[in-house]
Structure 1
Amino acid sequence: MNLQSRIKLYSSSLVLFLVASTFGQSIKKSDQRTPANYVLNQMEAKAFTIVANGKSTSIYVDPKDWKGVIRAAKDLGDDTRKVTGIASPVFENGKPEKNSIVVGTIGRSSIIDKLIATKKIDVSSIKGKWESFLIQTVDGQLVIAGSDKRGTIYGIYDISEKIGVSPWYFWADVPAKKAKELYIKAGKYFQDSPKVKYRGIFINDEEPSFAQWARGAYGGINSKMYATMFELLLRLKANYLWPAMWGKSFNEDDPLNPVVADEYGIVMGTSHHEPMMRSQKEYTDRKKEIGEWNFETNEKNISQFFYDGLERNKNFDNLITIGMRGEGDVAMGEGDDLKNIQTLQNVIKKQREIIQKVYNDTPENHPQVWAIFTEVQRYYDAGLKVPDDVILLFCDNNWGQIRRTYPEKEKVKNRIGGGGLYYHIDMNGGPWNDRWINTTTIPKLQEQFNLAYQSGLDKLWIVNVGDLKPKELPIDFIMHFAWNPDAIPANKTLDYTIDWASKIFGKENAVEVADIVSKYAKYNLWRKPEVQVANVFSIVNNHESDSVLQLWRAVADKADQLKSKIPADAQDAYYQLVLYPAKASAGVAEMYLASDKNMLFAKQGRVSANDFYKRTQELFEEDKKLSDYYNTIMSNGKWKNMMSDVHMEYKMWSMPKSNVIPQIKEVTPLSEPTMGVAIEGSELSWPNTTDKAILPVFDGLAKSSYYIDVYNRGLGKFEFTAKANKTWIKLSQSKGTVEKETRIEVAIDWNALADGTFDGLIEISQGNKTIPVQLNVVKTAAPKINEPYFGSLTGEFSIPSSKYNASVPGKFAKWVTLTDLGRSDASMGISPVTAPSATPESAPRLEYKVLLSKKGKATVCLGMLPTQDINPARGLRIAVALDNQTPVIIDARKGLVDTFGEYTPSNLAHSKVLKPLPPLNKDIYLNGNAKQRRSEVFDNLRWLDTELQVDEPGIHTLKVYMIDPEVVLEKIVVNPDNAHSSYFGPIPMQHNVK
């Protein structure tokens, strides 16, 4: 379904949703979110009045309730002011008056407990539950009752969001939706507990941007700054934080930090390599006193260090990280895994003893998490034992692909602690950085987090968000998704994005905003800005470079055009959430495309190379201007320094000292006008080479056409002529005057040709200088088939995975379309993702009708999303077959080293379909392997290939079978033409489409 069709469907479904999910109606238990329309802007029967006729209702809260609840109640009072201009007064004592808002926590609020005792409210649906709340109109009062501290706070903020105050009002300057009157629809609603128990973010890689901003705005990364972050998390219904840790200590830099966190209601933790509530900086500050970070040789001092940290924080709400890595977030020990495993077992045993001692209670009653990060994954696979009550925190590969689903052995024993996921939408480290801008799409997040959740990783989701800004959209999605993953299936990701945009920029702009933010992130996935290098996209094959440029310019232009429609008070929010990431990403992408053309054209001697020289410089300056506006003018300088990350011309993974313009070269024109010729499909130019100029083969099935560029290598102008030796060769121009360059389109009059192969010659002349260009043509009768099919007469063609002829369900699973996932329009995944592995006989399969023009071997390349080896005992398998031949099973990860976040170039033998790229510095590769810069990490695609036997030319059925359920298929390329390679491969062309 295309975007416009989905938008129409969204508009219809939204209306139905608003009508069906009224506040007073009961809803399905699986729907965890409160209804969208229980707040009204005009009075209706029995509605509760918040603000009307210039007056606002009062809010009452028990002074003995949690401080965080009282504080949130005051926020609600101020939120009514943000919307209507009239604040609701908050009273912490006294008997609630009639027509007031009553806020409180069960068992903590005498007001709420009295309502329960007098049977005014029934809290049986939430009592004793985790973070649940009830909202109900009772005897003219609006009651917000929470099962616990955060349950009450979430209920308060749910109303704040519904009246029109975005969770992002501070962190993205989203203006409140103005209204003169506010009412709550009469009725009762309860919010069930979240599906993922702990949901939070990790502030990381915070220098230079985040830290410089905080020092300028707050004097440091301190409790005043963190208070704004705690509030954001609570408004997003999140509850957990790993604080900034680059040379920072949350508990010691500002002793009020943990106090404020606890008062707000945020559960605090520490990162994967900072155990027992101690930051890395706390150790480095005491290194001389404590001694080496080696538990085997320094157990006494390190244990005391652990004890002191936990003792200090014992009265706060903590989720304690246990375990131990080497100093500086590296592997522990001398490299002997068995020895390290034993040491780690001893570490955990000692840490549990410390927990027992500090709390004078069994460790099982104090939540702990053990991060299975990088090399620790090996230790776990090798049998490292962790107490059953500890949350096993599995991780992604640092680049957004989870490394393990919840292991079956943990499900079988029903591990009490359960499993969680640590996931990156920001990365500082090998093989490359991903920090500057949002490069994560909502469809990708849905696919990966759904895979985690469905497998059982549901106790904790912690997301590395870097500086927090500009990752607002993915943070918002993940926190919403964590509350109830079932509420946002793969086919509803666009609906979510439109709804997000609607809340911020209004329904009238929501569809366009959603399109922009979806596209810029998707295009960044082709090559993330820090991974942009020379010659990624082909200039001469498949019009690839020009097509990429057009797409980037379209999204940037749309963002520019929409700006004038955005209300004045939302302009700052629009710049940081939409305009800046779209235009800045597009600018960096175009800058590399321009520098590529400059360098190629300079090599060819084109005077037009200087145009791209200047364009590259302009884009480099524009990038600085965009960031300067963000840092100094936007929001009156509120976010000064927040956009300071260096994001171009990386030579290795670590951030360069400054942005550097890509390599460009200025051309000195010859003294007189001189003709040069370049052709599609070749980077050579004539007369600079002795090679023959031969255009790619013209395919009668695809109705191919190609171009010839005639360009000037000198000053002035020249005239040229173009002449073909066959009447069926059609040229877009036969003569012309060239100052810089002109393009001749070469087409074929197919009606003038019989079936067969043909050749021809085109002569391009300037005066007495002539350059011959050869061409070859193949034509045959179209196959007699009533179905759409893919194929070519030259051998090479590609198939989008979603353009199948048939999808045949298997015994336990089926293929489903995952819209907008991957680099193209859609990918094909499996539902359910927890289905058992299958044999080809019982597996779901996709069937594609293909024309194979030659007898013999056909190479089939499968473009897969780079799913990790999530079940190493089994592999990650898919099968392919032609017609009724025996399927060939391919293991996507067989023979590959699990690199644990580092990088080994994988499937180099299978990357012929893609354009080879120049080597990187070898220090970013394991074992110094620097053959290519092609990788599944950089490309967000893994290529697998096999050869199938073609007994006879003609129409065949290509079949793709699921063997393991986590595979996601994006694209198929058949018989790649390595002489004309490109990043995306051949342009898909389906024939016989009616």
Structure 2
Amino acid sequence: MIALLYISGLLALILTASALLEERFVAFEPSFGALALSNATILFATHDFVGIEVAVNSLVDDFEQILGVRIPQFTVTSQNVSRTIYDNNASTAIIIGSVSRSFLIQDIASAGRLDLANVDDQWETYQTAVVTNPLPGLDRAFVIAGSDLRGAMFGVYTLCEQSGQSPFHYWTDTPAHEHDEIYALPRTTIHGPPSVRYRGLFINDEAPSLTTWWSQGNNKKHQPLDAAFYTHVFDMMLRLKANYIWPAMWKSSNNPPGNIFFTDDPENMALAEKYGIVVSTSHHEPMQRATNEWNVSETGEWDWSINKANVTRFMDAGIRRAAGQVSNASYVTLGMRGAGDGPIEGDNATDILRDVFSAQRTIIQKYYGAADAVPQLWTIYKEVATYYAAGLAPPDDVTLMFTDDNWGNIQRLPVDVSGEVTRSGGIGVYYHLEYVGAPRPHKWQDTNHLPKVLKELSQAYMRGARQIWVINVADIKPMELPYGFIMDLAWNASSITFGSLPRYLELWAAREFGPALSVDIAKLVMDWNQLLGMRKFEMIRSDTFSLENYHEVERMLAAWQDLVDREDSLYRALDKDRQATFFHYLHYPIQSGNIYYKVTLGQTMNAQYAIQRRNTANAVAERVMDDFGRDFDLIEEYDQLMDGKWKHILSQPKFEYSSPVNDKESWKSPSRDVLSNLSYVQLRQNMDESIGNLGIQIENTYNARAMGRWNPSAHRVMPTDGDSDYGGMPLMQSMNPYSGSSRRVDLFMRGDHRVPVRWWLDEWEHDWLSVNPVSGNLTQRRPEQILNFTVNWPQVPAGFNETVCVQIRWDGDYYWDYIRLPIQNRLVPPSFRGFPEVDAGVVSIEAAHYQRAAPQAINDTILANQPEQPVAFVQFPYLATRSNSGSIAVRPYQASRARINEGPASQGGQASPGFQNTTEGLQPPSALPPANNSSSTNLTAINPPSTAAATTALVQYDIFLFNYTEYPVNATAYVTSCLDTDPTLPMYYSLTADAQPPIWTRVLPEPRIPGDTPAGWIDTVADQVWKLNVTLGNMTEGRHVLTWRVNSPEIYLEKIVLNLRKGAVRESYLGVPETTLV
């Protein structure tokens, strides 16, 4: 009974929410005034857009899957509509049409039964209503009235989705949810216009996976991406309310020249017109022609400076062809890049491009009658951004397409003072979910962190990039989830917020898998997505995560294993008909992601264990080999899914990335999976007699490495001397009451595996220290053991500050050593609230856990983004990969953009003269909201940036030191990766201690060339965070206050780590986990 109530509650949530985010207009239970649709007749006008029939056919097919009945459909004229109603004994109908062409919609409105004021003259807007006596002979009808073709089609496809069909039904094999009846609710709903005018995708880097899959699925060596293929693409797009495409265009040496949308199938363009899809060409394919058309039809080089006549003739032919289309639904790409999507050839690229623009506009005028008669765009990508920064710009009616850096960081957004926001052509964004290029490709798997995607694109919208969003989706699969997420955001930019992400995913999971497990599936996706955001698979090397420090390797492997266990449990719990869909979305990605980590981090363990001469290095190597084989087992399982429907869709190799990222070949995708660099030790051989067969690994040190490489000696060295990292001494990091209660030591076998190693601990002095176990045997079957050192802090004498030595012996008392544990029992004052020092010199703070904020923080991003609110810091849940509590940034968005006067201070920053670092007037923040607290970001009007307000907001963190610092304290601030999107307002931060005034420092170095990525980008972009190092000076024992300020709402702080003493903070990828907050 409880389970039924729970499922009913979830169904109620879904029915009152959206599909995913639209206002609901259907239900599955009768209610007063609701209209049953299973017995309705579908009517649409003969002379309406041809695409209406496409949508109606989809509706009929979907209803058949959902209801088990095939609803009759009729295309009618004003002369035969009454006869059609009478002949078919129809009393109820679903009437679908566009306002401009459907006499059905016009007649209902003229009779006063439908008010179209909110739909007339709108872009892609639709209205739904249940109408009484809509036409002679009809009692009632459910009416979908679209402002235009796509408005009407979007209304139909939303009806399909709300009724139980997934937009990805083909791509993820999602079966429709079956119902006994579908009821149209007796309410009028208005949907649209969209937040972003053109919303679409770029099919790119489609070999080997997509092209091989499509060809072999058609039993051919090569099958072009034809109308049959694009029917599936366009169907998905319309169901997601997308309307714009850059078709597939990769060059192919196996089947030259490669993909050409316009000529591979004569029906492709006609199909696009029928579906209402606007066809453009990618950023480097100008004038409605595919690059591959040049490769097979033209002579000479693709070089304007030496082959202008042929290039011009080629472009002319593209516009001539486009102008001859029935609907002229084109968006023409302007500009030009060099051959192979490289930089343009020539001594002066800007002068060349000015000439290119002039020639292209002349051609457009020739065929369209005016140079601005057809929509045009220019994409500011890679080196083109430097040309734009140097002053090159197309005419005002041309859409400027800003781009990300191929890694999800948008490089440039509109600047108000430059008049970019008010351009008649508007501003667009070209955004990558995958990429082939430097520093490495990332296309095998979806590795997109949804909160980061939301950050980047919501900021783009707030800054005025609202004309086009085109998303590079590679092979489409496996990018269904992030692409659908972006299309929902593009349709209604205020519908998804950082706080509402879990709810969005619950709705998504209910749509794809049903409501019963939707909460658990959404939580699984959130946790999986958090791991994806840390680093893309292709950039993970055997030295990325630390084996010794902070148990990073163990934590990552445990996190992935936890996902695998939860995913497998959900997979088994799902109905059989939903398991294939789950396989697409989560089973394969999580299982294969886990294997990738096990292989790559297994190589880490194997390499380090070999250096330590640990016997288990061999077993780890064998596990890595097994996992490498299991990876391909999983691919073969995917190939067999749905009777082989998806065979070869995952043909992309991924195990090969061993060369440095700046290697000239590192940008290329692997050609075949390769596993290398595994190490083995000789298991029948003893260690050098001077040090024996027992290894001791102290956590957060490299002592076992040093012990494993000890130079042979004629005499035994006991106890081990030297420091823990270089001399091998088993010395733990210092403990105090805030370090936790336990430390860990690994014992391992490093000699002849046939001869057991017996070990034991001598008694030690203090009974408040316990060790478990105190003796044992290392054997071939059990070559490792863990010792847990636990301190009972209430029993430790106050002020105790000594190193406790525990003696360990092995091999018949012949060998011995000391395991050393420094203990410092000091407490902070009872009134202190903040972060005490731990581990003799470490403090790690998650940004959301501040002690003070001024002005008072508003942890609700709806309120915080209202223009009337003062600039203050706001928590952004889930937007972080180095913090479990999200990040913080300033809002309202527009008011918190402040310019900093550049000067001679640190890294070009300048301390602002009127600021004093003081606690006067600061108030403790209110309690943070729960992690799943729903919040929203209200997108405000675009206003000029403030010049002061942002810099007055601050947060403060209290820390407590137990000792004076011998060296200047170093702080590392972890900021979510970003780029300076406004060249007139670069991002600055200030992190200061105690009474220091603000010291404003650039977040990013100045690029070598204006418009380019910042210096060092290629070496750090894969980290997904920028690590900002600040020297705070020496600190005395006691309480100190850190103050954080920024000048931009695009700086999201995740974590601050303090290194109080030399070597206290250990090297790691994720940084020190948050230390104790009291």
The offset of 1:224, in angstroms, is 0.7
Amino acid at match of 2:875: T
Instruction: Tell me which of 23, 35, 48 is aligned to 1:35.
Output: 23
Contact 2:611 2:709 in 1 (8 A): no
Amino acid at match of 2:1071: G
Counterpart for residue 684 of structure 1:
705
Instruction: Tell me which of 970, 984, 991 is aligned to 2:1070.
Output: 984
Counterparts of 1:573 and 1:627 in 2: how far apart (Å)? Answer: 16
Per the alignment, do residues 11 and 762 of structure 1 end up closer, same or farther by CA in structure 2, a change over 3 Å counting? farther
Counterparts of 1:896 and 1:762 in 2: how far apart (Å)? Answer: 54
The offset of 1:486, in angstroms, is 1.0
Contact 1:795 1:854 in 2 (8 A): no
Local SS of the residue matching 1:491: coil
Contact 1:880 1:959 in 2 (8 A): yes
Counterparts of 1:747 and 1:267 in 2: how far apart (Å)? Answer: 67
Instruction: Tell me which of 340, 346, 362 is aligned to 1:328.
Output: 340
Counterpart for residue 284 of structure 2:
273
Instruction: Tell me which of 118, 121, 129 is aligned to 1:128.
Output: 121
Local SS of the residue matching 2:573: coil
Counterparts of 1:986 and 1:464 in 2: how far apart (Å)? Answer: 35
The offset of 1:196, in angstroms, is 0.2
Question: Which stretch of structure 1 is more off in the superposition, 309-318 or 697-706?
Answer: 697-706
Which ranges of 4 or more aligned residues in structure 1 deviate by more than 6 Å? Answer: 8-14, 898-903
1:352 equivalent to 2:352? Answer no
CA RMSD of aligned residues (A): 2.5
Per the alignment, do residues 403 and 903 of structure 1 end up closer, same or farther by CA in structure 2, a change over 3 Å counting? closer
Counterparts of 1:127 and 1:135 in 2: how far apart (Å)? Answer: 14
Contact 2:48 2:102 in 1 (8 A): yes
Counterpart for residue 203 of structure 1:
203
1:71 equivalent to 2:70? Answer no
Counterpart for residue 807 of structure 2:
763
Amino acid at match of 2:697: A
Counterparts of 1:900 and 1:581 in 2: how far apart (Å)? Answer: 36
Counterparts of 1:72 and 1:881 in 2: how far apart (Å)? Answer: 60
Instruction: Tell me which of 827, 830, 843 is aligned to 2:890.
Output: 830
1:317 equivalent to 2:329? Answer yes
Counterpart for residue 893 of structure 1:
1004
Per the alignment, do residues 9 and 886 of structure 1 end up closer, same or farther by CA in structure 2, a change over 3 Å counting? farther
Contact 1:430 1:903 in 2 (8 A): no
Per the alignment, do residues 42 and 964 of structure 1 end up closer, same or farther by CA in structure 2, a change over 3 Å counting? closer
Query: Following superposition of structure 1 onto structure 2, how do residues 695-706 of structure 1 map, counting pairs within 5 Å?
Result: 695-700=731-736, 701-703=738-740, 705-706=742-743
Amino acid at match of 2:143: V
Amino acid at match of 1:311: R
Per the alignment, do residues 547 and 793 of structure 1 end up closer, same or farther by CA in structure 2, a change over 3 Å counting? closer
1:709 equivalent to 2:770? Answer no
Deviations 1:395-423 (A, max 9, x none): 00000000012122344772111111000
Per the alignment, do residues 598 and 412 of structure 1 end up closer, same or farther by CA in structure 2, a change over 3 Å counting? closer
1:226 equivalent to 2:230? Answer yes
Amino acid at match of 2:423: R
The offset of 1:656, in angstroms, is 1.6
Counterpart for residue 677 of structure 2:
663
Contact 1:420 1:457 in 2 (8 A): yes
Counterpart for residue 476 of structure 1:
484
Contact 1:60 1:102 in 2 (8 A): yes
Local SS of the residue matching 2:887: strand
Contact 2:706 2:728 in 1 (8 A): no
Contact 1:529 1:648 in 2 (8 A): no
Query: Following superposition of structure 1 onto structure 2, how do residues 676-825 of structure 1 map, counting pairs within 5 Å?
Result: 676-680=695-699, 681-682=701-702, 683-684=704-705, 686=707, 688-689=709-710, 691-700=727-736, 701-703=738-740, 705-712=742-749, 713-716=751-754, 717-723=756-762, 725-727=764-766, 729-739=769-779, 740-750=783-793, 751-766=795-810, 767=812, 768-792=814-838, 794-809=840-855, 812-823=870-881, 824-825=883-884
Q: TM-score, normalised by structure 2?
A: 0.84
1:584 equivalent to 2:577? Answer no
Contact 1:446 1:493 in 2 (8 A): no
Local SS of the residue matching 2:57: helix
The offset of 1:456, in angstroms, is 0.5
1:238 equivalent to 2:265? Answer no
Local SS of the residue matching 1:720: strand
Instruction: Tell me which of 959, 963, 982 is aligned to 1:871.
Output: 982
Amino acid at match of 1:620: F
Question: Which stretch of structure 1 is more off in the superposition, 150-159 or 620-629?
Answer: 620-629
Local SS of the residue matching 1:647: coil
Per the alignment, do residues 598 and 257 of structure 1 end up closer, same or farther by CA in structure 2, a change over 3 Å counting? same
Percent identity, aligned pairs only? Answer: 29
Counterparts of 1:655 and 1:372 in 2: how far apart (Å)? Answer: 25
Query: Following superposition of structure 1 onto structure 2, how do residues 428-447 of structure 1 map, counting pairs within 5 Å?
Result: 428-447=436-455
Counterpart for residue 42 of structure 2:
59
1:854 equivalent to 2:964? Answer yes
1:537 equivalent to 2:545? Answer yes
1:390 equivalent to 2:398? Answer yes
Counterparts of 1:481 and 1:808 in 2: how far apart (Å)? Answer: 32
The offset of 1:676, in angstroms, is 2.6
Q: TM-score, normalised by structure 1?
A: 0.90
Counterpart for residue 161 of structure 1:
161
Counterparts of 2:678 and 2:744 in 1: how far apart (Å)? Answer: 25
Counterparts of 1:46 and 1:874 in 2: how far apart (Å)? Answer: 56
Contact 2:390 2:1010 in 1 (8 A): no
Query: Following superposition of structure 1 onto structure 2, how do residues 61-460 of structure 1 map, counting pairs within 5 Å?
Result: 61-93=44-76, 94-95=80-81, 97=85, 98-139=91-132, 140-218=140-218, 219-247=223-251, 248-288=259-299, 291-314=300-323, 315=325, 316-334=328-346, 336=347, 339-360=348-369, 362-411=370-419, 414-460=422-468
Counterpart for residue 932 of structure 2:
none
Per the alignment, do residues 513 and 793 of structure 1 end up closer, same or farther by CA in structure 2, a change over 3 Å counting? closer
Amino acid at match of 1:759: T
Contact 1:705 1:747 in 2 (8 A): yes
Counterparts of 1:388 and 1:79 in 2: how far apart (Å)? Answer: 44
Counterparts of 2:815 and 2:1010 in 1: how far apart (Å)? Answer: 57
Query: Following superposition of structure 1 onto structure 2, how do residues 486-505 of structure 1 map, counting pairs within 5 Å?
Result: 486-505=494-513
Amino acid at match of 2:338: G
Structure 2 gaps, min length 5: 86-90, 133-139, 252-258, 660-665, 687-691, 712-726, 857-868, 901-911, 916-948
Counterparts of 1:203 and 1:145 in 2: how far apart (Å)? Answer: 32
Contact 1:875 1:894 in 2 (8 A): no
Per the alignment, do residues 468 and 790 of structure 1 end up closer, same or farther by CA in structure 2, a change over 3 Å counting? farther
Contact 2:964 2:1037 in 1 (8 A): yes
The offset of 1:901, in angstroms, is 8.1
Deviations 1:376-433 (A, max 9, x none): 1111111112111111000000000000121223447721111110000101110111
Query: Following superposition of structure 1 onto structure 2, how do residues 615-694 of structure 1 map, counting pairs within 5 Å?
Result: 615-631=623-639, 633-650=640-657, 651=659, 652-671=666-685, 674-680=693-699, 681-682=701-702, 683-684=704-705, 686=707, 688-689=709-710, 691-694=727-730
Counterparts of 1:58 and 1:176 in 2: how far apart (Å)? Answer: 21
Counterparts of 2:498 and 2:1010 in 1: how far apart (Å)? Answer: 29
Contact 1:866 1:936 in 2 (8 A): no
Instruction: Tell me which of 521, 526, 529 is aligned to 2:534.
Output: 526
Contact 2:389 2:1011 in 1 (8 A): no
Contact 1:724 1:760 in 2 (8 A): no
Per the alignment, do residues 269 and 736 of structure 1 end up closer, same or farther by CA in structure 2, a change over 3 Å counting? same
Per the alignment, do residues 545 and 241 of structure 1 end up closer, same or farther by CA in structure 2, a change over 3 Å counting? same
Structure 1 gaps, min length 5: 1-7, 24-31, 907-924, 926-934
Contact 2:733 2:839 in 1 (8 A): no
Per the alignment, do residues 133 and 413 of structure 1 end up closer, same or farther by CA in structure 2, a change over 3 Å counting? closer
Contact 1:132 1:148 in 2 (8 A): yes
Amino acid at match of 2:295: T
Counterparts of 2:796 and 2:60 in 1: how far apart (Å)? Answer: 79
Counterparts of 2:8 and 2:979 in 1: how far apart (Å)? Answer: 37
Query: Following superposition of structure 1 onto structure 2, how do residues 883-962 of structure 1 map, counting pairs within 5 Å?
Result: 883-897=994-1008, 905=1016, 935-950=1019-1034, 952-962=1036-1046
